[in-house]
A = this chain, B = another copy of it.
Amino acid sequence: GMLVANHLVIFDADELTLNERQKSVISEVIHTQPRYVLGSRVFHPEDTIVKTPHNKIGGHNFTVMAGPCSVENEAMIQDLAVQVKAAGATVLRGGAFKPRTSPYDFQGLGETGLSYLRKAADATGLDVITEVMSPEQIPMMLPYTDIFQIGARNMQNFALLKAVGQTNKPVALKRGLAATVDEMLNAAEYIASQGNLQIILIERGIRSFDDKYSRNVLDVGAIPILQKLSHYPVLVDPSHAAGHADLVPIYGQAGVAAGAQGMIVEVHQNPSQAWSDAAQQLTPGTFKQMVVTTAKIHDLLVADQAAKN
């Protein structure tokens, strides 16, 4: 059992045989299945607002995270930080440790990349989000990042989830390629169970039977479902879902129209020359237009909802 929001939560209560005296002290039975108690709206009805040095993520805020797939060198990330900020981003993304399908692909610049990322963010007043791949990287990464990103492949790497749950930094959890909504919320619960409820959920597309024109299927429905079941902010990652630059803005529009409270987008000065994810990165110019359109959709939805209430 655990105590949450003045309720005593007893797991597997169905299987309990309670005597009359025990029953007499129960005021309400709430079935939470699956068992993500800490993440559930039932016990925490208000939206969680995740706080970073420069951002409030969640609620009616619209948060734009952008940057290259991989940090390639100091100059490129400094220049990109300036450009994505000018286009409306307030969080700088960039990979220094890359989870690549093949061991022979570029694995990232490591700590050097992190230091470039931090400097570029500080120079422009942005927060940093970057991926952590293993528990032992965490202490080293703490000074460099504002948000730990857990990649799709590690969504059920429970040792890693527990380890970031023991830090006091926000964690952005990407949905696994074939993870159900319940599995994602249970994965978030691993983080929360360690005391860290500063969690951001990211829908990034799921695997389907047709990847000829789009790498993955963006599951827009998961966005309102996650928001209904949990109190965490939900962002959309249109870049990895689409896998092709011309589709990325459209996937972003769809995700925001489904209620996403922000987005994380891959941007590169010269996408075709990128060291990874060459096909899906946007130029700064295209990204800027995308931010304009998606922000309008977000504002329209917030206004319509306010009118309804």
Contacts and interface: CB of A to CB of B under 8 A. Distances in A.
Contacts of A202: none
A207 to B, nearest CB: 5
B247 A186 contact: no
A44 interface: no
Interface in A138-160: 153-154, 156-160
Contact of A251 (B181, B183, B221, B296): B221
Nearest to A161: B103
Interface in A5-36: 11, 34-36
Contacts of A177: 178
Contacts of A255: 254
A176 B178 CA distance: 9
A250 B242 contact: no
Contacts of A134: 135, 159-160
A82 interface: no
A292 B193 CA distance: 42
Interface in A215-231: 217-225, 229
Given A135-B134, A218-B221, A225-B247, A99 B158 contact: yes
A217 B217 contact: yes
A252 to B, nearest CB: 9
Given A156-B99, A207-B209, A257-B256, A308 B289 contact: yes
A117 to B, nearest CB: 20
B11 A210 contact: no
A103 B186 contact: yes
Contact of A224 (B34, B99, B247, B297): B247
Nearest to A243: B221
A104 B257 CA distance: 35
A44 B90 CA distance: 43
A206 interface: yes
A109 interface: no
Contact of A104 (B11, B183, B207, B229): B11
A277 interface: no
Interface in A292-309: 292-293, 296-297, 300-301, 304, 308
A250 to B, nearest CB: 5
A180 interface: yes
A258 interface: yes
Given A218-B221, A256-B257, 7 more contacts: A136-B136, A178-B178, A181-B210, A220-B250, A223-B250, A289-B304, A293-B304
27 contacts: A35-B104, A99-B158, A101-B156, A101-B183, A103-B162, A133-B158, A133-B159, A157-B157, A176-B178, A178-B209, A181-B210, A206-B208, A206-B217, A208-B217, A213-B221, A214-B222, A218-B221, A220-B254, A221-B241, A224-B247, A224-B250, A253-B258, A253-B301, A254-B254, A257-B297, A297-B300, A300-B300
